[in-house]
A and B are shown apart, each in its own frame.
Chain A
Amino acid sequence: MLKTIRKITGTIFFIFSLSVFLGYVSDRGAVSFFNSFNLFPALSEFTSHGFDPVFVITIIVAASCLFVGRFYCSYLCPMGFLQDLASIFGRLFFGIKKRRAAVYKYFRIFIAALCVSSVLSESTVWGWFDHFSNFGRIVNDFFRPAVYLAASPFASYLNRTSYFQIPEIEFSFSFDFCYGIFIFILLVISSLFVPRWFCATLCPSGAIFSWLFKYGFAGLAKSGKCPSCQKCENACPVDCVTDGVVDYDLCVTCLECTGACPYGSLRLKFSMPAEKSIEAAAPLPAGASENTVLHNSRRDFLKTTCAAAAGLAMPGIAAKSFASLPAVPATILPPGAINMDRFFSDCSACHLCVSACPTGVIAVSGLENGLAGLSKPRMDYAKSYCSYECNRCMQICPSGALKRHSLQQKQLIKIGRVKLDTSSSTSCIPYKDKKDCGACSEHCPTGAVHMVRKGDIFVPELSWEYCIGCGICEHACPVKSGDRPIVVYPVAEQSVAKSPKRLSKPIENKPGSGDFPF
């Protein structure tokens, strides 16, 4: 019963997550709902945007760990689902025996402290460990190309015959592209042997959830008749049950063990934290004296404190390295990023904006802006332009790295600086060939690039104070090679451009008046 429910909820949530990260769900409410299930992205959204009613879900998910354990991890988490799929695959096709994942206690404390400290401060180190952001990168770098590639034989047929379109992927291998594939392969191959190792070893929300479970009010304990049939051990997908005793560090509360128990002996029960046989999984070595126990606990306390302190301090140390950022970014940042320092310290590189962008202009950075900018989004004007009528990226950004603005406000955010070459060596057609062209001004949504009469023809001119750096002029320009005449450059700080309203002089409107002028 529970197994079936888990299959259903896991699949639903996996498909939902997949469609969110593939860019098929662009509704902000739906994305926000999805986001609220994930502890760190929700915390990040909270620190940037303040309280939102959907955070009730986050609180429920976290608080329920105290009473029912890590049900999010087993019943909903897409990253867990992916690992489960891999280990089931390994067991069924290669007969691989499951192996218990290693829990490095102090490492786990370190990672969790690091992530908590970074999500509350000006750092996004958490993005490298958090399951949500990692899943986003996997989907964007692996599933998206895979889906497009799989659909491409049908794409030309579908696109020719119907209104529906399947975007075709342009294959350009880059470091960032390999990165998502790398995590995917690492995750899948290692899950073949060690089920859900990510949840036990790395995942920061998994660590917090498992401590809430461990020191909370729910326990998995056997009572009454237990003939040690080992059915629970065999049923456990993460191999965390030994002789009816559960290792709370690993357990994801999928409850397959309780379902497998033929005597109804093993059950999830309410129990006070002190009553739980928490340390039972790690029995004392033979011959250990009272003194050693005391010694151990003192040592344990010291180690825990050190790991936590190191974790808490780490983002601050990492933030120091941002000081080495260039004054002006090497790449144009998406609208709402404001500046590099702020953007890099808020963006967890989940790539949600990359897949949501309708013009496909948002790409992933390599090392253009140093290590701090690795895998963070950038604008790729060689490929596309930023649509004037769209603010989807900032609407969808879960961490608040792209500051939310209304469409009207976004239409005034200056994300780049246009430069038009009018020198004698320009390749601009009206200046060079004395022929009408005007593709740039035709596309310009703000009137920043406009045409002025020069002799018999019209030449483009700039009113840069109206330019928002959307890059459509660069995109429309027919000169595609050599030194391009109109190019948009990055700015150090995004600012507010002058409203194009001032360029529209009002025209006298007399409806229905006047006869035909011919």
Chain B
Amino acid sequence: MQLSRREFIKMGVGAGLAMTCGSFAESLFAQEGKSSSPDMIAVRNGNPAQMFESGIKEFGGMSRFVKSGQAVVVKPNIGWAKTPEFGATTSPELVAKIVEHCYKAGAKKVYVFDNTCNSWNDCYEKSGIAKAAKDANADVKPGNREENYKKMSVKGATVLKDAMVHELFTEADVVINVPILKHHGSAQMTAALKNYMGVVWDRRFFHSKGLHECIAESALIRKADLTIVDAYQVMKQNGPRGLTKADIMLKQMQIIATDMVAADTAAAKILEFDTSKIAYLKKAEDLKIGTMAIDKLTINKITL
């Protein structure tokens, strides 16, 4: 009883704040640690959908981020033609749950896409994301058509000065970033920031012109309004593709935050990685995309 009352009050506070300040202003407050609402939610011991359900409730509900009539982009990692148990792609039930919450909050349309590494239809199908998202009424769009990407200049970038960005990503009212947490051979880790490589057309540019700079600067295109890091099963080695199921570690965790850098910092700790070794995190912090000092943030931890 006590818990539910507390939750009720928190929800009320969250909703009130959202109504008065709007989500953008609030996320600013959150970064500076002045708001009484949490900066980050960390959930563990449930399945991805359950963890999201409790986590988003604690974070003030989806209506804090999605307003009635808005178009939402949910950007999972669909990069590889592998089935969910290999942990190479975002959990399909998590994607479906997020889509469902967006519609409940009044979203007009929810889009799901990714610029995949393997052939797009294989990835969409094998990952189970296309089906799960479609069943939740999302509009699943291909990410492999060059004509869907529009050239734009990236303000404040020194390497990724201009990029071809998927039109849905720039046109949507709300962007929800849903990466899966994995080891990464060259970038060291892939989570929130690295997941943005799937909204840009030419990923080879990233590799040839400075991987870490481009990953950090891609967040200058547009910060995600909400980041959910799927750390249910994490790829500890041989990432980002993974070789066998032996590369996977069952962590049963999830991070929900508005700050992409903070989310990535927490994610790196779950992977037991040294955050100072992940070059793009520091670069993103320098670009004021977010903070790596998560010990100064209010993190609400939930154990199911």
Could you list which residues of chain A lie within 8 angstroms of chain B, going by C-beta atoms?
156, 159-160, 163, 165, 358-359, 387-390, 429, 435-439, 441-447, 450-451, 458, 476-480, 500-501, 503-507, 509-512, 515-518
Contact = CB atoms under 8 A, between A and B. Distances in A.
A165 B45 CA distance: 40
A465 to B, nearest CB: 14
B253 A516 contact: yes
B224 interface: no
A508 to B, nearest CB: 8
A436 B186 contact: yes
Contact of A518 (B42, B207, B211): B42
Contact of A389 (B126, B237, B240, B303): B126
B246 A501 contact: yes
B207 A165 contact: no
Interface string B121-155: 11000100010000000001110110110000000
A160 B299 CA distance: 41
Given A507-B249, A518-B266, A445 B241 contact: yes
Given A436-B279, A438-B186, A443-B241, A507 B246 contact: yes
- In the A-B complex, the 3 residue pairs with the smallest Cβ-Cβ separation, listed nearest first, are A438-B186, A478-B204, A478-B208
Interface in B243-257: 243-244, 246-250, 252-253
Contacts of B45: 512
B67 interface: no
Most buried by A among B119, B240, B272: B119
B247 A438 contact: no
Given A436-B187, A501-B246, A507 B236 contact: yes
Contacts of A458: 185-186
A359 B117 contact: no
A165 B187 contact: no
B243 A503 contact: yes
Contacts of A438: 184-187, 207, 211
A367 to B, nearest CB: 30
Contact of A387 (B119, B185, B266): B119
Given A437-B208, A441-B185, A504 B119 contact: no
Given A358-B119, A512-B45, A442 B241 contact: yes
Given A437-B208, A438-B211, A504-B237, A509 B249 contact: yes
Given A358-B119, A478-B208, A504 B247 contact: yes
Given A389-B126, A511-B250, A436 B212 contact: yes
A447 B244 CA distance: 10
Nearest to B45: A512
Given A504-B246, A518-B266, 6 more contacts: A436-B187, A447-B238, A476-B204, A507-B249, A509-B250, A512-B250
Contacts of B294: 518
Interface string B263-299: 0001001101000000100000000000000110001
B296 to A, nearest CB: 11
Nearest to B148: A160
A429 B130 contact: no
Given A358-B119, A509-B250, A163 B236 contact: no
Interface string B20-54: 00000000000000000000001011000000000
A447 B301 CA distance: 36
The SS class assigned to the A binding surface is: loop
Contact of A504 (B184, B244, B301): B244
A441 B237 contact: no
Interface of B: 42, 44-45, 81-82, 117-122, 126, 130, 140-142, 144-145, 147-148, 184-187, 203-205, 207-208, 210-212, 236-238, 240-241, 243-244, 246-250, 252-253, 266, 269-270, 272, 279, 294-295, 299, 301, 303
Contacts of B205: 478
A504 B248 CA distance: 10
A501 B270 contact: no
B118 A429 contact: no
Contact of A159 (B145, B184, B210, B269): B145
A509 B272 CA distance: 14
5 contacts: A358-B122, A436-B279, A444-B241, A512-B250, A516-B266
B128 to A, nearest CB: 14
A388 to B, nearest CB: 8
B240 A442 contact: yes
A442 B269 contact: no
A451 B122 contact: no
A437 B249 CA distance: 26
A403 B250 CA distance: 38
A375 B246 CA distance: 43
Contacts of B121: 165, 358
A446 to B, nearest CB: 7
Contacts of A445: 241, 243
Nearest to A457: B186
A501 B121 CA distance: 27
A445 B252 CA distance: 26
A501 B238 CA distance: 11
B266 to A, nearest CB: 5
Contacts of B142: 159, 163, 165
A381 to B, nearest CB: 15
B277 to A, nearest CB: 10
A359 B144 CA distance: 13
Contact of B186 (A390, A441, A516): A441
A477 B295 CA distance: 39
A437 B253 contact: no
Given A156-B147, A389-B122, A390-B122, A517 B243 contact: no
Contacts of B141: 163
A462 B291 CA distance: 37
Contacts of A441: 185-186
A476 B79 CA distance: 13
B117 A442 contact: yes
A503 B212 contact: no
B44 A507 contact: no
B145 A160 contact: yes
B122 A387 contact: yes
A185 B238 CA distance: 53
B254 to A, nearest CB: 11
B211 A480 contact: no
